[in-house]
């Protein structure tokens, strides 16, 4: 995965030293994304430090996992990741785990560059998306993802979030 630039944005592979910054951005994106979907009390428990701990081990999973970070002026503004399918009935061998981007960077082409950094062109792929999060649907549909009818209720921070599956 080569580094790419778009305006003042640098997209590069995630590094071990990124764990703390990834935890901060991860927590902020969850607040921006899930405020309408999860209770405020639950979101208050999202700790940047706790999420940073998750990231300290994420990078060491192996080459089949692709993780990229987008930076502006040396600060992480978003990240994306894909890897082996985690579902026993997966419709593709590869799963897009996340494309997370701070709200202030939406609709500026950064999400597309992050997506392209962790997915091969025309690669068969699937992802799970919060059913009540309409903001991301257009993004994925522009990348030829379509709902396949699968749904699941996922535990999320002690609550339940209904997700729908997209496949391409």
The full DSSP string for the chain is ---EEETTEEEEE--GGGHHHHHHHHHHHHHHHHTTTS-HHHHTT--HHHHHHHHHHHGGG-TTSEEEEEEETTEEEEEEEEEE--STT-SSSEEEEEEEE-GGGTTSSHHHHHHHHHS-TT---EEEEETT-GGGHHHHHTTT-EEEEEEEEEEETTEEEEEEEEE-
Residues 109-131: pLDDT tens digits?
999 999 999 999 999 999 999 88
Would you kindly state where each structural domain of the chain is located, as residue ranges?
4-121
Average pLDDT, the chain: 85
- The yes or no reply on domain 4-121 and CATH 3.40.630.30 is yes
Q: What is the pLDDT of residue 100?
A: 92
Residues 39-89: pLDDT tens digits?
666 656 666 676 677 777 666 677 899 999 999 999 999 999 999 999 999
């Amino acid at each position: 995965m080569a580094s790419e630039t778009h305006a003042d944005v640098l997209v590069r592979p995630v590094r071990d030293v990124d764990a703390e910054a990834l935890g901060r951005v991860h927590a902020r994106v969850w607040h921006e994304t899930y405020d309408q979907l999860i209770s405020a009390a639950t979101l208050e428990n999202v700790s940047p430090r706790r999420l940073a701990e998750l990231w300290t081990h994420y990078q060491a999973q192996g080459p089949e996992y692709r993780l990229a970070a987008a930076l502006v002026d040396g600060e992480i503004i978003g990240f994306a990741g894909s890897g082996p399918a985690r579902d026993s009935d997966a419709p593709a061998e590869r799963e897009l785990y996340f494309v997370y981007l701070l709200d202030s960077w939406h609709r500026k082409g950064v999400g597309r560059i992050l997506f392209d950094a962790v997915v091969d062109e025309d690669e068969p792929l699937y992802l799970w998306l919060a059913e009540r999060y309409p903001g991301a649907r257009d993004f994925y549909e522009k990348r030829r993802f379509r709902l396949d009818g699968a749904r699941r209720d996922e535990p999320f921070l002690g609550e339940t979030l209904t997700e729908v599956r997209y496949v391409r």
